[in-house]
Structure 1
Amino acid sequence: MKKLNNSIVFSKSSNPWFNLALEEHLFSTIHEDQVIMYLWQNNDTVVIGSNQNPWKECDLNKIEADGVKIARRLSGGGAVYHDNGNLNFTFITDNALYDQERQMNVVLEAVNAFGVSATFSGRNDLLIDGKKFSGNAYFLGDKASFHHGTLLVCTDLMRLSKYLTPSNHKILSKGIDSVSSRVVNLNSIKQEITIGGLQESLIRSFQAEYGECATPKTFFQDSSTVQELAGLYEKYFSWQWIFAESPSFEVHFEKDYDWGEIWIGLVLVDGCIHEMEIFTDTLVSTFVQKMKKALQGIPYDFHSVEKALLSVASTNEEKPLFEDILLLFKECL
């Protein structure tokens, strides 16, 4: 049997766009007979699945107000919150070596080495006493595949629920909703479980399963490494990838003002306003067509909406209406 070319990779960056770019780089450059275990952490980030809608999955107002990043990964599954109390792992292999059960066993053995009894559930989760401490997702390519997941060690669970609670304006989407689960931090079960200790345990478990490997390789986010990623960082950082990759969806909101009631309905395609319908009983009806024309085709983010509406020449009668509409969009976006 041919000896495997195993390797362990660490990222010293906590930037989600860099870490996801590095993950895809490792995936796209994997060699035959190679298994990589990649360990990484993101700081204050919501990561959505490949088929998810960020407007539906997240409270974008709170995310922006608190300076939290948002990222989209290659794999499917639900939205997750990452901070420095969470450890992420990725197993990358060529397809001949891809074995989900074997990879999961590495993680279970590493966790159970601390004297707990973790198990794998049928919904891609790892549990202790029925509570979830790890979610897993998968990406299967033509020649290689990867399996990655989270390990909650001492993450801020209050922030987790804060950012993954979407706003209450109505959205109809073809995207896949996240599934809420009861979660638990590993160090609340065993105080001696730390990020560093769990990393060491994963290395031991990985080598016990796949054999000895060379000294772990560490990546730092510097100019030479970013250049090596060949544009992947720009991809993961871009509005196009994070938002425009969302499935088509509809959103509508309404509000009463002194000048009348307004109902706005939008159809969004590739993250941009594709169709718009407005119903209002205001006597100042001229602003409706102006607003429709200004917003047609623009990205569905507040700065784009603001720029478009401010570019519209408005009369003294229309100006207070446009100001109120801008505040309404800001509230909803």
Structure 2
Amino acid sequence: MQRAPRVLISEITDPRFNLATEDWIFREMAAHTHVLLLWRNSRCVVIGRHQNPWVECDLELMRAEGVPAARRQSGGGAVYHDPGNTNFTFLSPTPEYSRDRNFGIVLRALRTLGIEAFRSGRNDILVSTGGEDRKISGNAFKHTRERSFHHGTLLVEADLDRLGRYLTPASQRLEARGTRSVPSPVVNLREIDPRLSHERICRALSEAFLEEFAAPEPRDPPEYLDGEVLTAIPSLREYYEKMRAWEWIYGMTPEFVHSFSPDPAITLDIRVREGVIVAVVVHSVQPEEDGLGRLLERGLSGLRYDGATIAAALPGSVPARIRTGIAEEIGGIP
């Protein structure tokens, strides 16, 4: 039986809570309901399910500035979030899911606000401004037999300087699998119309969504989600703990190899699987370094791929310059 469409608005800005809420709705809400979830996050970088955070963003800079990383359930590329981003998620029964319809809802909502936007071939939403097409929205998708979701961002007044800095990875020599992000020129909607705000955009999206699904009058008001929801629903708490766990954010990373020289006398090839060092090959320039090589192979294997962890775990017999060189090359994680 088809249920009335629902609009949910999260008042939480914890990115892991919002991603957990999205996952909870996707897995547990009635399969025959169309849902629009509207939300925004505090500063963070969100990577796609199949991405490598060490390739996609500058984790050391994020650690230094207190900006967390998060991994979402869907594919696609890395995105920077802050309170200047409005995020939307459409959840639909798979037999009734339509990507075109969802994009149409967003485009109509923007048109009511005076923004003429269009969809690109890469499933971005663009506007023409200043003589070029600029991205205002990136989108990603996930499907199961019963339910599908489509989520995306709208750049309202995001900090584009931080976006550029965090999504520019450090120059590490990584041979990595996984989905790579494709950079695009972007623009904030408030640069086009300073009157726009998160609240106005949420109202426009809600109205366009309810009109699309012919919600009966009088329409139910949006349902607001706050911190009490997290403690009241045990399964949502479980999803939240999963989203904030190291095993999800870093342990889901596809296998990669990092090659570098922490010292002129040696070069390391470090193989990392699920965020953990599984093999180390040491190339020594001088034969007398062979003992150090064996020490590094034993000392690094099994450690999490994190500079601070490695610096603390390597034995004292490893020279300080080598230990420091390895830790600085790999860097920290937020």
Same fold by TM-score, threshold 0.5 exceeded? yes
Instruction: Name the counterpart of 1:166.
Output: 169
Given candidates 116, 139, 143, the residue that maps to 1:140 is 143
Cα distance change, pair 255–295 in 1 and its aligned pair in 2 (3 A):
closer
Instruction: Name the counterpart of 1:232.
Output: 239
Contact 2:308 2:331 in 1 (8 A): no
Paired residues for 1:104-119 under 5 Å: 104-119=103-118
Equivalent-residue separation in structure 2 for 1:187 and 1:325 (angstroms): 44
Equivalent-residue separation in structure 1 for 2:24 and 2:254 (angstroms): 25
Given candidates 188, 192, 210, the residue that maps to 1:207 is 210
Equivalent-residue separation in structure 2 for 1:321 and 1:288 (angstroms): 14
Instruction: Name the counterpart of 1:90.
Output: 89
- Counterpart of 1:275 in structure 2: which amino acid? A
Contact 1:31 1:94 in 2 (8 A): no
Equivalent-residue separation in structure 2 for 1:180 and 1:174 (angstroms): 18
- Counterpart of 1:233 in structure 2: which amino acid? Y
How many residues are treated as equivalent by the alignment?
324
- Counterpart of 1:20 in structure 2: which amino acid? L
SS of the aligned residue for 1:50 comes to coil
Unmatched segments (≥5 aa) in structure 2? none
Q: Which moved more, 1:261-270 or 1:276-285?
A: 276-285
Cα distance change, pair 330–180 in 1 and its aligned pair in 2 (3 A):
closer
1:145-164: CA deviation from partner (whole Å, max 9, x where unpaired): 10000000000111101000
Equivalent-residue separation in structure 1 for 2:24 and 2:289 (angstroms): 55
Report the alpha carbon displacement of residue 289 of structure 1 after superposing the two structures with TM.
1.6
**TM-score when normalising by structure 2:** 0.91
Equivalent-residue separation in structure 2 for 1:226 and 1:128 (angstroms): 40
1:241 aligns with 2:242: no
* Percentage of matched positions with identical amino acids: 35
Instruction: Name the counterpart of 2:45.
Output: 46
**TM-score when normalising by structure 1:** 0.92
Q: Which moved more, 1:167-176 or 1:26-35?
A: 26-35
1:188 aligns with 2:191: yes
Equivalent-residue separation in structure 1 for 2:29 and 2:234 (angstroms): 18
Report the alpha carbon displacement of residue 290 of structure 1 after superposing the two structures with TM.
1.8
The root-mean-square deviation of aligned C-alpha atoms, in Å, is 1.9
Q: Which moved more, 1:205-214 or 1:94-103?
A: 205-214
Paired residues for 1:122-137 under 5 Å: 122-129=121-128, 130-137=133-140
Equivalent-residue separation in structure 1 for 2:151 and 2:320 (angstroms): 50
Instruction: Name the counterpart of 1:36.
Output: 35
Unmatched segments (≥5 aa) in structure 1? none
1:19 aligns with 2:26: no
Contact 1:4 1:210 in 2 (8 A): no
Given candidates 282, 305, 314, the residue that maps to 2:310 is 305
1:290 aligns with 2:295: yes
Contact 1:30 1:93 in 2 (8 A): no
Cα distance change, pair 332–220 in 1 and its aligned pair in 2 (3 A):
closer
